[in-house]
């Protein structure tokens, strides 16, 4: 039988609100206080003074603070040429320090806009969410499909937050094997290049590892699919298994592993996977 190409058949975007799901589970909690130098009008001196403008990425609040040159914050090799005088801290804060936002009181990392250049001008944080679904194929059993999305939070110099969702890895369980689809590749430097689409690979290779977040699913999803007898639900819930792809691959090769789960030998299964 000819290999089915799943690139356009599997979900092209998440089925659920994965951004909300990730946030509900404590992702993207980290905040930034983004600062820059700005001249502000000072009525006492009848003129402008050089000040520091700070914006909180968590609440959007902007405030002005007294500018402190790097020598006053740190000695040599300071991460930025200046910081600001923080009323809550004994010393001035500078790029990389943590302090509290005076408005929302959230702990935040201070970032000078000059150091945002290396990320294409934005602060990037990534997390990963896995969804399970079934894919009907005419004349064949429905395929169980795992799709892993990379959720990327981008914060620009104005502190505006934006979320992006990228296809990361996808796995289609067939009768005899598991088909791998990738949404990224690693460049020579180890940097990840995202495609923005699924690309099917000839070889199975478990690059999935351990799931970060899995959208809850009901075991009835497995009924009548290629993974009907896999007991994936048992593996995930009772044994708190996160290596979903490793488990499915093991089960495809050694179908009796599901018996071990049923008999309560889940620890043995986990050891095998490791
Ligand atoms: Zn805030």
Of 108-112, 180-184, 237-241, the poorest mean pLDDT is in: 237-241
| C-alpha of residue 33 to centroid of ligand 1, in Å | 8
Does 79 reside within a domain? Answer: yes
The residue among 78, 101, 119 that closes a domain is 119
Residues 123-132 have a mean pLDDT of: 96
Assess contact for 68 and 97: CB atoms under 8 A. no
DSSP 233: H
Radius of gyration of the chain (CA): 25
Assess contact for 178 and 249: CB atoms under 8 A. yes
Residues 120-133 have a mean pLDDT of: 94
For 33-79, the pLDDT digits (tens) are 999 999 888 777 777 888 999 999 999 999 999 999 887 666 557 78
Does 140 reside within a domain? Answer: no
User: Is pLDDT larger for residue 90 or for residue 219?
Assistant: 219
| C-alpha of residue 91 to centroid of ligand 1, in Å | 20
| C-alpha of residue 124 to centroid of ligand 1, in Å | 18
| C-alpha of residue 108 to centroid of ligand 1, in Å | 8
Does 194 reside within a domain? Answer: no
Does 93 reside within a domain? Answer: yes
| C-alpha of residue 161 to centroid of ligand 1, in Å | 13
Assess contact for 209 and 169: CB atoms under 8 A. no
pLDDT of residue 145: 98
| C-alpha of residue 100 to centroid of ligand 1, in Å | 8
Give the orientation angle of helix 266-273 with respect to helix 244-253, to 10 degrees: 100
Does 154 reside within a domain? Answer: no
Does 106 reside within a domain? Answer: yes
Residues 207-212 have a mean pLDDT of: 92
Total of domains in the chain: 2
| C-alpha of residue 90 to centroid of ligand 1, in Å | 20
| C-alpha of residue 81 to centroid of ligand 1, in Å | 24
| C-alpha of residue 104 to centroid of ligand 1, in Å | 4
Domain around 75:
31-119
Query: What is the Cα–Cα distance from 92 to 50, expressed in whole angstroms?
Result: 16
Band the pLDDT of 18: cuts 50, 70, 90.
very high
| C-alpha of residue 106 to centroid of ligand 1, in Å | 6
Does 220 reside within a domain? Answer: no
| C-alpha of residue 102 to centroid of ligand 1, in Å | 7
| C-alpha of residue 35 to centroid of ligand 1, in Å | 13
pLDDT of residue 239: 66
The residue among 119, 142, 175 that closes a domain is 119
The alpha helices in 162-254, defined as continuous H runs, are 232-237, 244-253
Query: What is the Cα–Cα distance from 210 to 222, expressed in whole angstroms?
Result: 21
Does 108 reside within a domain? Answer: yes
| C-alpha of residue 63 to centroid of ligand 1, in Å | 10
For 215-248, the pLDDT digits (tens) are 999 999 999 999 999 999 988 887 678 999 999 9
Residues 96-100 have a mean pLDDT of: 94
Strand partners of residue 150 = 128, 166
The residue among 70, 101, 119 that closes a domain is 119
């Amino acid at each position: 039988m000819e290999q089915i190409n799943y690139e356009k058949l599997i979900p092209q975007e998440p089925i659920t609100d994965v951004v909300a799901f990730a946030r509900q589970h404590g992702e993207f909690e980290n905040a930034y206080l983004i600062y820059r130098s700005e001249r502000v009008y000072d009525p006492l001196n009848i003129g402008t003074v050089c000040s520091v403008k700070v914006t909180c990425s968590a609440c959007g609040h902007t405030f002005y603070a007294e500018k402190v040159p790097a020598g006053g914050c740190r000695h040599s090799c300071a991460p930025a040429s200046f910081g600001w005088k923080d009323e809550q801290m004994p010393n001035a804060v500078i790029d990389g320090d943590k302090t509290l936002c005076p408005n929302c009181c959230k702990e935040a990392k201070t970032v000078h806009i000059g150091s945002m250049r290396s990320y294409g001008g934005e602060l990037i944080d990534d997390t990963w969410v896995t969804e399970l679904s079934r894919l009907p194929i005419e004349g064949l059993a429905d395929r169980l499909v795992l799709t892993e999305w990379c959720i990327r939070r981008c914060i620009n110099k104005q502190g505006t937050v934006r979320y992006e969702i990228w296809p990361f890895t996808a796995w289609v369980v067939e009768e005899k094997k598991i088909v791998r689809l990738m949404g990224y590749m690693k460049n020579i430097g180890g940097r990840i290049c995202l495609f923005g689409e699924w690309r099917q690979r000839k070889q199975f290779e478990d690059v999935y590892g351990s799931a970060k977040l899995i959208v809850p699913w009901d075991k009835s999803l497995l009924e009548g699919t290629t993974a009907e007898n896999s007991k994936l639900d048992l593996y995930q819930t009772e044994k708190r298994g996160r290596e979903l792809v490793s488990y499915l691959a093991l089960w495809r090769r050694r179908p009796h592993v599901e018996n071990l789960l049923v008999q309560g030998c889940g620890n043995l299964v986990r050891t095998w996977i490791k």
